[in-house]
Amino acid sequence: MTALAKIVHTAPEVEAEPELTDGFHLVIDALKLNGIETIYGVPGIPITDLGRMAQAEGMRVISFRHEQHAGNAAAIAGFLTQKPGICLTVSAPGFLNGLTALANATTNCFPMILISGSSEREIVDLQQGDYEEMDQLAIAKPLCKAAFRVLHAADIGIGVARAIRAACSGRPGGVYLDLPAKLFSQVMDAEAGQKSLVKVIDPAPAQHPAPEAIARALDVLKSAKRPLIVLGKGAAYAQADAAIRSLVETSGIPYVPMSMAKGLLPDTHPLSAGAARSTALKDSDVVLLIGARLNWLLSHGKGKSWGEPGSTKFIQIDIEPREMDSNVEIVAPVVGDIASCVQALLDGMGQGWQQPPSDWIETLRTKREANVAKMAPKLMSNASPMNFHAALGALRTIVKERPDAILVNEGANTLDLARGIIDMYQPRKRLDVGTWGIMGIGMGFAVAAAVETGKPVLCVEGDSAFGFSGMEVETICRYGLPVCIVVFNNNGIYRGTDTDPTGRDPATTVFVPDSRYDKMMEAFGGVGYHVTTPDELTRAVNEAMNSGRPALVNAVIDPAAGSESGNIGSLNPQSGIKKKK
Ligand code: ADP
Ligand code: TPW
Ligand code: MG
């Protein structure tokens, strides 16, 4: 410091130096201002200090072992809370690891923001080979709803606001926010910095349906002899639980829940046609879709699962206008947010609403009872080794007794059979592989479900499915989360009995036989169980869930019990070449 400066600095009449802020702090302040309290990520250059500072500023920063799982955690946090979940990654490889989760979030309509550090534009654009160089913005763009880059600290507030609005408004989805390393150390006047931040007002504004659209939908519904409501995960996301229940009960129309809409009304509800799904889809004449797309999960609204071509009329409630007519004609499109649309339908039904013909209700009830009765003995089986039904029968009772627990579910047989067998009783308690049928969501979803809701989590995992995110059991132990993982260990993918015809290697679908996944949990201080009967399984899961501590139950399942690809074996292409005898 020069002598003059010293004099000036100490002179009492001189103003104090302006307070400064920087890119790090502005990102944290912008998130907090918008009510975002948790970041899921993996640290490294250039975002290590961002995570540290966020933690120091009181945010919850959950560090994972791999970005894909942090991304899946952020995505399901978005689904559960309607606020975008935040995933924070390093440049290039970390960014790419997070990208699968971003794309999956977009596909499933979950709001999330992938924030990634990146290297400098000057070097990336001239392709001069920076540390972890990659044109991340360009790569992210086709895989998300929107992608933004912020170059100046003064624009952080707007950048974060745009990202939040893009993730939450309209059809929710994944957003990419690119923050080059230099941004974080840029300084600016603290007061100007605070003023530059934006608190997003009404990030997902109500979108009321047109009255004509409601009138048209009600006309079609009134004409129905065999109406059906299909509830999708959009309906679960919308958190319009009371209105949806009221619509079902007031209209008297039976409903089928899609996987993640199970529990929106309890699966035991008298109007649930979940256990008579095939009959309900095939024989219905008018179907009201609420937050469910007519994609492969509903056989595209045509073909064998449905009645004769043209015999089913579809009414669809969705916030995305372009969803209409995407697979078959929608005779009554209702575009708007589910809460507003369902309320408008209810208002329009008024006093004089006629319940659907009783023979239709009776047909579905009879079918449902027959299916439930057919299943019952299988669920009580004491076969040794355990088959899927016996193990799931035990878990079904546990979930009934613990309806507020969150069930995470992935695998093939383990997924399809659990979805059918385990009844759900409360909304947003079933989290699974969603629209893509993606393996690897398990531990990421489990961590976020525990962190966001504080509720106990039960993960029902195929042994293959578990392997995709298994290392995150360390994360679960590190944060001491109340997660009980049950690995359905049938020695492989679909089955553990395949062999290599040449006899050289293990078959492509099998794993080390009799693996002890429970020991993975023990390695990090959690509790491991090894069980071979439904009774042992029940005892282990109850003990684990009562303790609230991380636990993994290795449940030995008959390696021969599963079927190829679970319920969707028919999607496997068949060789065009006939096998020689
Ligand atoms: P599922 O797999 O359960 O059938 P999908 O993911 O196919 O469900 O469909 C969810 C649908 O819900 C999407 O088309 C999405 O646009 C819509 N959606 C999501 N949130 C809302 C909302 N708040 N209001 C209206 N539609 C919504
Ligand atoms: C990212 C393909 C679908 S289901 C599955 C795989 C590998 C595992 C099935 O075995 P699991 O279940 O979990 O042991 P079970 O009960 O039938 O034995 N990669 C990704 N996603 C998918 N869907 C696959 C591969 C697949
Ligand atoms: Mg398996």
- For the stretch 427-436, pLDDT in tens is 999 999 999 9
Ligand nearest to the CA of 459: 2
Task: Give me ligand 3 centre to Cα 468, in Å.
Answer: 12
| Closest protein CA for atom 24 of ligand 2 | 439
Sheet containing 332-335: order of strands: 255-257, 227-231, 286-290, 313-318, 332-335
State how far the alpha carbon of 159 is from the alpha carbons of 52, 155, 544, in Å. 21, 6, 43
Confidence band, pLDDT 50/70/90 cuts, at residue 5: very low
What six digits make up the tokens of 281? 């889809």
Q: What pLDDT is recorded for position 352?
A: 87
State how far the alpha carbon of 187 is from the alpha carbons of 190, 386, 391, 423, 533, in Å. 9, 63, 58, 54, 62
Q: What pLDDT is recorded for position 581?
A: 57
Instruction: Please tell me the distance from the alpha carbon of residue 72 to that of residue 40, in angstroms, as a whole number.
Output: 9
Cβ(462) to ligand 2 under 6 A?
Answer: yes
Q: What is the pLDDT of residues 382-409, one digit of tens each?
A: 888 999 999 999 999 999 999 999 999 9
Q: What single letter denotes the amino acid at residue 505?
A: D
What is the arithmetic mean of pLDDT over 273-299? 98
- Of the given ranges (18-22, 92-96, 577-581), which has the lowest mean pLDDT? 577-581
Q: What is the pLDDT of residues 157-206, one digit of tens each?
A: 999 999 999 999 999 999 999 999 999 999 999 999 999 999 999 999 99
25: part of which helix (H) or strand (E)? Answer: helix 23-33
**189 CB-near residues (< 8 Å, 6+ apart):** 18, 19, 20, 21
* Residue 10: pLDDT over 70: no
What six digits make up the tokens of 50? 């961002």
What is the arithmetic mean of pLDDT over 442-470? 98
Q: What pLDDT is recorded for position 384?
A: 85
Bridge-based pairing state of the strands 112-118 and 85-89 = parallel
Q: What pLDDT is recorded for position 580?
A: 64
Instruction: Please tell me the distance from the alpha carbon of residue 473 to that of residue 461, in angstroms, as a whole number.
Output: 13
Q: What pLDDT is recorded for position 578?
A: 78
Instruction: Please tell me the distance from the alpha carbon of residue 444 to that of residue 97, in angstroms, as a whole number.
Output: 13
Domains parsed from the chain with CATH numbers: 20-196 (3.40.50.970), 211-364 (3.40.50.1220), 381-566 (3.40.50.970)
State how far the alpha carbon of 528 is from the alpha carbons of 98, 489, 524, in Å. 29, 14, 10
| Closest protein CA for atom 18 of ligand 2 | 494
What six digits make up the tokens of 103? 């794309």
Could you give the dihedral angle defined by the CA atoms of residues 497, 501, 505 and 511, in that order, rounded to the nearest 10 degrees?
Answer: -20
Backbone angles phi, psi at 223, to 5 degrees: -75, -10
| Closest protein CA for atom 20 of ligand 2 | 439
Q: What pLDDT is recorded for position 17?
A: 85
Instruction: Please tell me the distance from the alpha carbon of residue 124 to that of residue 121, in angstroms, as a whole number.
Output: 5
| Closest protein CA for atom 19 of ligand 2 | 439
Instruction: Please tell me the distance from the alpha carbon of residue 551 to that of residue 518, in angstroms, as a whole number.
Output: 8
Q: What is the pLDDT of residues 193-252, one digit of tens each?
A: 999 999 999 999 999 999 999 999 999 999 999 999 999 999 999 999 999 999 999 999
Is the CB of residue 360 less than 8 Å from the CB of residue 225?
Answer: yes
Describe the chain by its helix, strand, coil percentages, rounded to 5.
Answer: 45, 15, 40
Cβ(179) to ligand 2 under 6 A?
Answer: no
Is the CB of residue 405 less than 8 Å from the CB of residue 579?
Answer: no
What is the arithmetic mean of pLDDT over 127-144? 96
Omega prior to 266 cis, within 30 of 0: no
Q: What pLDDT is recorded for position 357?
A: 97
How many Cβ atoms sit within 10 Å of the Cβ of residue 470?
A: 22
Q: Please tell me what DSSP assigns to residue 557.
A: B
Q: What pLDDT is recorded for position 350?
A: 86
Q: What is the pLDDT of residues 36-57, one digit of tens each?
A: 999 999 999 999 999 999 999 9
Kindly provide the residue ranges of all beta strands, DSSP E only, lying in 232-308, ordered along the sequence. 255-257, 286-290
Is the CB of residue 200 less than 8 Å from the CB of residue 259?
Answer: no
Q: What is the pLDDT of residues 484-530, one digit of tens each?
A: 999 999 999 999 999 999 999 999 999 999 999 999 999 999 999 99
28: helix, coil or strand?
A: helix
Task: Give me ligand 2 centre to Cα 552, in Å.
Answer: 19
Instruction: Please tell me the distance from the alpha carbon of residue 74 to that of residue 53, in angstroms, as a whole number.
Output: 19
Cβ(463) to ligand 2 under 6 A?
Answer: yes
The H-assigned helical ranges of 186-337 are 190-196, 211-222, 233-237, 241-251, 277-283
336: helix, coil or strand?
A: coil
Q: How many CA atoms lie within 13 A of 453 on its CB side?
A: 26
The torsion region of residue 202 among left (phi > 0), alpha (psi -120 to 50) and beta comes to left
Confidence band, pLDDT 50/70/90 cuts, at residue 16: confident
Cβ(62) to ligand 2 under 6 A?
Answer: no
Omega prior to 385 cis, within 30 of 0: yes
Cβ(284) to ligand 2 under 6 A?
Answer: no
Cβ(41) to ligand 2 under 6 A?
Answer: no
Cβ(494) to ligand 2 under 6 A?
Answer: yes
* Rounded percentage of the chain residues whose pLDDT exceeds 90: 95
Cβ(498) to ligand 2 under 6 A?
Answer: no
- Computed over every residue of the chain, the mean pLDDT equals 96
* Rounded percentage of the chain residues whose pLDDT exceeds 70: 97
Burial (Cβ within 10 Å: 0-12, 13-18, ≥19) of residue 493: buried
Tokens 């009371």, located at residue: 242
The model carries a pTM of: 0.96
Instruction: Please tell me the distance from the alpha carbon of residue 297 to that of residue 146, in angstroms, as a whole number.
Output: 26
What is the arithmetic mean of pLDDT over 473-478? 99
Task: Give me ligand 3 centre to Cα 493, in Å.
Answer: 4
Residues by chain with Cβ below 5 Å of ion ligand 3: 462-463, 490
Terminal C-alpha separation, the chain: 93
Ligand nearest to the CA of 172: 1
Q: What single letter denotes the amino acid at residue 433?
A: V
C-alpha angle with apex 398: 392 to 402, nearest 5 degrees? 140
* Residue 375: pLDDT over 50: yes
| Closest protein CA for atom 26 of ligand 2 | 439
**580 CB-near residues (< 8 Å, 6+ apart):** none
* Residue 4: pLDDT over 50: no
Instruction: Please tell me the distance from the alpha carbon of residue 73 to that of residue 166, in angstroms, as a whole number.
Output: 19
DSSP states along 426-475: STT-EEE-GGGT-TT-HHHHHHHHHHHH---EEEEEEHHHHHHHGGGHHH
* Residue 9: pLDDT over 70: no
**540 CB-near residues (< 8 Å, 6+ apart):** 529, 531, 551, 553
Cβ(261) to ligand 1 under 6 A?
Answer: yes
Is the CB of residue 163 less than 8 Å from the CB of residue 148?
Answer: yes
